[in-house]
Amino acid sequence: MHFESPLFLIFLIVLPFLYFISIRKKSSSLRFPTLNEIKKIKIAGSQNPIRALSMLRIITLILIVLALSRPQAIESEKELSTKGIDIVIALDVSGSMQAEDFAPENRLYVAKEEAKKFVKGRKNDRIGLVVFARQSYTQCPLTLDYDVLVSLMDEVKIGMIKDGTAVGLSIANAINRLRESDAKSKVVILITDGENNSGNIDPVTAAELAKGFGIKIYTIGIGRGGLVPFPVDDPLFGRRYVQAKVDIDEKMLKQIADMTGGVFFRARDERSLEQIYKKIDELEKTEVKVKEYANYNELFPYLLWPAILLLILEILLGSTILLKLP
């Protein structure tokens, strides 16, 4: 609640003094030779009309002062206008993503888990998922339904696409999802652990195309590098591990990011991948504009009308039941 004219509230300090003065004021008197007969008269009604009338008058004055201060009820309304970001995550599902240098899990598992955390932390952004190996497919188109996206992300697994690493083709597929977007910002997050060795589109050519559509590409090279434990399923002896080396073309990934205004990151462990997603989250903030409107409803009638009724009541009581004889 808000008082439009709060200075009138100062009078509330004076009113208690007026009350005490009124009840202590001496009544007028008449001289009688004897009071014996008067004492026999039974007084009907209130035994203290001065106090009762004074109390009514003070309550009336309090209500009038409060009404003059113009109390107002404030009803505020907020209008939010958001300008979201369209994001496509391009995830490598080639065989090399089975490497378990993020022990006890492999690269794909960690990449999916951190991507899911990133998705759940966004608001008002459309996010899609592209997967690639030798070919590239759209696993989930741009959507605001993050639960569906996370569910489809859980279904991603190694072997769903023939082995290979078509980086250029994955970028082209992501561009196709973003090219008609009117979002404030269009972003591709490319996650891979290898070199481009499949597809008929060169990654740099695809990056030039992305630049033309105003699409930024953040590239993430995932993996520790060097020799890493790699699972091999032997039909006779079961699963065993060998040391394998998977080369990441950092130069290419950095060039793609630089060309499009993005950033290249290297994720050598789960912790660093988590920090990379946080960094991208900070770089790509959704624009939110807030307009606030306030409506003021006058409350003084709810005080003024009771004050008028009490004033009338005081006049009636003072003229009838609480009539004071001189």
Residues 90 and 67 grouped into a single domain: no
Q: Measuring CA to CA, which residue among 303, 238, 268 is closest to residue 64?
A: 303
Q: How confident is the model at residue 46 (pLDDT cuts 50, 70, 90)?
A: very low
Residues 7 and 119 grouped into a single domain: no
The answer to the question of residue 34 being in a domain is no
The answer to the question of residue 243 being in a domain is yes
Show Cβ contacts of residue 154 under 8 Å, excluding neighbours closer than 6 positions: 112
Q: How many domains does the chain have?
A: 2
Q: CA–CA separation, 186 vs 149, rounded Å?
A: 18
Q: Measuring CA to CA, which residue among 76, 160, 148 is closest to residue 116?
A: 148
Residues 20 and 93 grouped into a single domain: no
Residues 251 and 150 grouped into a single domain: yes
Residues 313 and 171 grouped into a single domain: no
Q: CA–CA separation, 101 vs 114, rounded Å?
A: 16
At residue 87, does pLDDT exceed 50? yes
Q: What is the mean pLDDT of residues 143-152?
A: 95
Please answer whether residues 254 and 221 qualify as being in contact, where contact means their C-beta atoms are separated by less than 8 angstroms: no
> Which two tokens mark 264?
């290249």
CA angle (295 as vertex; 290, 301 as ends), nearest 5:
165
At residue 307, does pLDDT exceed 70? yes
Q: What is the mean pLDDT of residues 294-303?
A: 77
Please answer whether residues 98 and 107 qualify as being in contact, where contact means their C-beta atoms are separated by less than 8 angstroms: yes
Show Cβ contacts of residue 19 under 8 Å, excluding neighbours closer than 6 positions: 54, 55, 58
At residue 89, does pLDDT exceed 90? yes
pTM: 0.65
The domain in which residue 309 lies consists of: 2-25+46-76+293-319
What is the model's pLDDT at position 77? 61
Q: How confident is the model at residue 218 (pLDDT cuts 50, 70, 90)?
A: very high
Q: How confident is the model at residue 102 (pLDDT cuts 50, 70, 90)?
A: confident
Please answer whether residues 224 and 231 qualify as being in contact, where contact means their C-beta atoms are separated by less than 8 angstroms: no
Show Cβ contacts of residue 192 under 8 Å, excluding neighbours closer than 6 positions: 90, 92, 94, 165, 167, 170, 219, 220, 221, 222, 248, 253
Choice between 281 and 45, residue whose per-residue pLDDT is larger: 281
Q: Measuring CA to CA, which residue among 170, 276, 272 is closest to residue 225?
A: 272
- Distance between the two ends of the chain, CA-based, in angstroms? 46
Q: Measuring CA to CA, which residue among 172, 210, 167, 175 is closest to residue 192?
A: 167
Q: What is the mean pLDDT of residues 282-287?
A: 76
Residues 251 and 273 grouped into a single domain: yes
Choose the weakest-confidence range: 28-42, 152-166, 272-286.
28-42
Which single residue is written with the structure tokens 């907020």?
A: 78
Residues 213 and 310 grouped into a single domain: no
Residues 64 and 128 grouped into a single domain: no
Choice between 263 and 57, residue whose per-residue pLDDT is larger: 263
Residues 106 and 72 grouped into a single domain: no
Give the range with max mean pLDDT: 38-42, 186-190, 265-269. 186-190
Residues 97 and 170 grouped into a single domain: yes
Q: CA–CA separation, 253 vs 218, rounded Å?
A: 9
In CATH, what number is assigned to the domain containing residue 134?
3.40.50.410
Residues 305 and 196 grouped into a single domain: no
